[in-house]
Amino acid sequence: MKQKLPLLLMFLLATGCGRPASLEGPAPEGALDCALAYADIAGYQLVDGGSEDGFLRLIQRIEADPADARPVRAQPDPADQPTIERVIIQQNELLVQVDRDRVLFTVIREVDLPPERGSSATDQARTMLEMCTISPPTFPETQDVTNPPPAGAPL
């Protein structure tokens, strides 16, 4: 059994399991500024970097669904204490990098949301990539990146 676990782990890593989703495309002038504009519309906050640094680290806080609240008993004696509702804070995290003439969108952390609560970080990154890698980049005006069209659909 000791031999099988490392082999299985190596196989999963080699096939891409466990790696963050990455999307890549050409990087015309202004691609990072375009990505930042789309990220702002989608509710992301810039936490590190900037266009002059060649990268953006973005975080999007996900509002907790009240149905996801878990009852937690306060300490020390559960019988004497009231039940408190604890909400788990979730967030999506994207890293956008420009290296020479390529832009790379990496989904570092992604919250698994049902479709009715919005699109995934990967879908949002895909929309940003499609709009920001054409020359010149299409800056957001009426584009809705929070609920982008399905992959492959005309924009």
**pLDDT at position 41 over 80:** yes
**pLDDT at position 80 over 70:** no
CA distance 140 to 36: 10
Determine the average pLDDT of the residues in 86-100. 82
User: What is the model's pLDDT at position 44?
Assistant: 92
**pLDDT at position 2 over 50:** no
DSSP for residue 145: S
Determine the average pLDDT of the residues in 80-103. 78
**pLDDT at position 7 over 90:** no
Backbone angles phi, psi at 76, to 5 degrees: -95, -35
Which pLDDT tens digit goes with each residue over 142-151? 455 555 555 5
Q: CA distances (Å), 7 to each of 19, 20, 46, in order?
A: 17, 21, 39
| Strand order, beta sheet including 55-62 | 22-26, 102-109, 90-99, 55-62, 45-50
Structural domains in the chain, CATH included, are 19-62+90-132 (3.30.160)
pTM of the model: 0.64
Does residue 28 or residue 69 have the better pLDDT?
28
86: tokens are 């604890």
